[in-house]
Structure 1
Amino acid sequence: MMGHSHAVSGAMLYAGTAPFLAPVLFDVHLAPADVLMGTVLAAGAALLPDLDHHDGTIANFLGPVSRLLCRFVAWVSGGHRHATHSLLFVALMGGGTWAGISYLGRGFTLGTTFFLLALAVRALRLHPPGDGPTMWITIVGLSVLGTAGLDNWLPSAPGWLPYAVALGTLAHLLGDCLTKKGAPLLWPHKERYETVLIKRSGNAMETKVLVPIMSVVTFALLWFTAVSPTVPV
């Protein structure tokens, strides 16, 4: 799947589950602002498994810096669709975020927010077209402004943030399981799991059917759980 599709799937999965699972998992009821913020950050987190792709959406979102990072991750993880496309990676992302929030404090929370916002801006195409300096300077600028704005609303230790990161990462894996080659969910076991619904990335099934459906579902979920004042969260 393409980066845009992954981002939309991450947003949908968070918007559809967090308001209902948060009371069970975290013993906390999410405010509407938490649902909205988490949905955007989960969209960004849905690109994290492609840190192993030297020319994917995530590799180009901050110019040469992100390309260098992705080449390094690809080298460490064994190449595209290996270690970073596993349930182990989902656990590491969620657990690592929880540990960072718990032990590194506010700086880690804001840094993670900036990084995920930058990914979301890139994947959702909220920037000028192209891949040059104007694009990634715009992404950085919007992400800085967004992080500064969210600083006023983010809790000191947002318990939902690790969930948003893990869920966005999981959404990416589920999306790749709909394509050829699938994903090695149980890595280092090498078997790949797939149910081929998308025969080629960017085809009509993905861009004209799945993405519009996921977008509508996401907005509907947000309306009923975070926007509509008549629906308690």
Structure 2
Amino acid sequence: MMGHTHAMTGAVAWLGLAPALSVLPLLNESSRYIETGIMATAMAPTELVAGAIVCAGAAMLPDLDHPSATIAQTFGPVTWVLSKIVAWLSGGHRGMTHSLVFAVAMGFGAHWLASTYPIGRDIMVVLLIGLALRAIGIGIPGNKLGSAMINVGITTGLFVVFRSMEVGYAWLGMAVGMGCLIHVVGDCMTERGCPVLWPFAQRWVLPWKIGIKTGKKFEQKILAPILSVVIIGLLFWRLAPL
């Protein structure tokens, strides 16, 4: 699937599932949990929106194994070098990063960062915001440097807003793991499939032997608009006052 499709499915997954998943322990830092005893009511609107952006960015992480992809140019040489390293470690495109092992490892790793190293957590959040913005097309067509600068500016602005509104990141591991998993599921619906149970090489295609062709009419003209409408609907449902 294309980058914008992955990002939008990540946002849809978060907006749809996060409120229910927030009842799990350690997914929220708000003191309202202590007051109410109900974790689901403690997820603030800013955390829901921040999580949607972060999950959309995390849905791009598996494609960092593809240095030629547009997403690898998000922050210029920084993400390009990172992509080259990831490609080397994972054995090329649609290798280890497109598996359950990677999704689980990234989820637990992000949770560990969020609870142990604030600086590392903030770096990851900034990277994921940037990946999400790049995936949905923020930038200047044909101008890599200009696109990178615009991305840096908007990413910085969003991160500052989240900090000023005291967004907690206890949910970071869940958002990252969910985003990576949604990417794998999406690519399993394409013709090539994914090695879901890596290190076993067998590629999974869902539904069986019926693969969506990446970048073709169905994805761009039908699926993308549907996902856009779903995101708007979920935001209204979650955030509109009763």
Q: Give 1:123 deviation, angstroms.
A: 0.6
* Alignment partner, residue 211 of structure 1: 224
Q: Please, which runs of 5 or more residues in structure 2 have no aligned partner?
A: 28-37
Q: 1:137-171 CA distances to partner (integer Å, 9 max, x unpaired)?
A: 1111111111111112244x522111111111111
Distance 1:108 1:72, change over 3 A: closer
Q: Give 1:197 deviation, angstroms.
A: 5.1
Distance (whole Å) between structure 1 residues aligned to residue 200 and residue 122 of structure 2: 35
* From 116, 121, 125, the counterpart of 1:113: 125
SS of the residue corresponding to residue 148 of structure 1 reads helix
| 1:170-189 to 2 correspondences below 5 Å | 170-189=181-200
SS of the residue corresponding to residue 22 of structure 2 reads helix
Distance (whole Å) between structure 1 residues aligned to residue 76 and residue 87 of structure 2: 17
Question: Retained in 2: the 8 A contact 1:48–1:169?
Answer: yes
* Alignment partner, residue 117 of structure 2: 104
Q: 1:31-73 CA distances to partner (integer Å, 9 max, x unpaired)?
A: 1111111111111111000111111132121222222221121
* From 155, 169, 189, the counterpart of 1:143: 155
| 1:161-176 to 2 correspondences below 5 Å | 161-176=172-187
The answer as to 2:34 corresponding to 1:34 is no
Q: 1:196-216 CA distances to partner (integer Å, 9 max, x unpaired)?
A: 555421101111111111111
SS of the residue corresponding to residue 204 of structure 2 reads coil
Q: 1:12-42 CA distances to partner (integer Å, 9 max, x unpaired)?
A: 0111100112114547221111111111111
Distance 1:177 1:131, change over 3 A: farther
Q: What TM-score do the two structures reach when normalised by structure 1?
A: 0.92
* From 150, 158, 162, the counterpart of 2:169: 158
* Alignment partner, residue 22 of structure 1: 22
Distance (whole Å) between structure 1 residues aligned to residue 158 and residue 67 of structure 2: 27
Distance (whole Å) between structure 2 residues aligned to residue 198 and residue 180 of structure 1: 4
Distance (whole Å) between structure 1 residues aligned to residue 111 and residue 236 of structure 2: 28
Distance (whole Å) between structure 1 residues aligned to residue 15 and residue 156 of structure 2: 24
Query: What letter is aligned with 2:122?
Result: L
SS of the residue corresponding to residue 23 of structure 2 reads helix
* Alignment partner, residue 194 of structure 1: 205
Question: Retained in 2: the 8 A contact 1:198–1:205?
Answer: no
Q: Please, which runs of 5 or more residues in structure 1 have no aligned partner?
A: none
The answer as to 2:90 corresponding to 1:71 is no
SS of the residue corresponding to residue 179 of structure 1 reads coil
Question: Retained in 2: the 8 A contact 1:91–1:166?
Answer: yes
Distance (whole Å) between structure 2 residues aligned to residue 153 and residue 85 of structure 1: 34
Distance (whole Å) between structure 2 residues aligned to residue 108 and residue 154 of structure 1: 17
Distance 1:172 1:162, change over 3 A: same
Percent identical pairs in the alignment equals 38
Q: What TM-score do the two structures reach when normalised by structure 2?
A: 0.88
Distance (whole Å) between structure 1 residues aligned to residue 159 and residue 129 of structure 2: 8
Q: Give 1:129 deviation, angstroms.
A: 2.2
Question: Retained in 2: the 8 A contact 1:117–1:143?
Answer: yes
Distance (whole Å) between structure 2 residues aligned to residue 79 and residue 34 of structure 1: 34
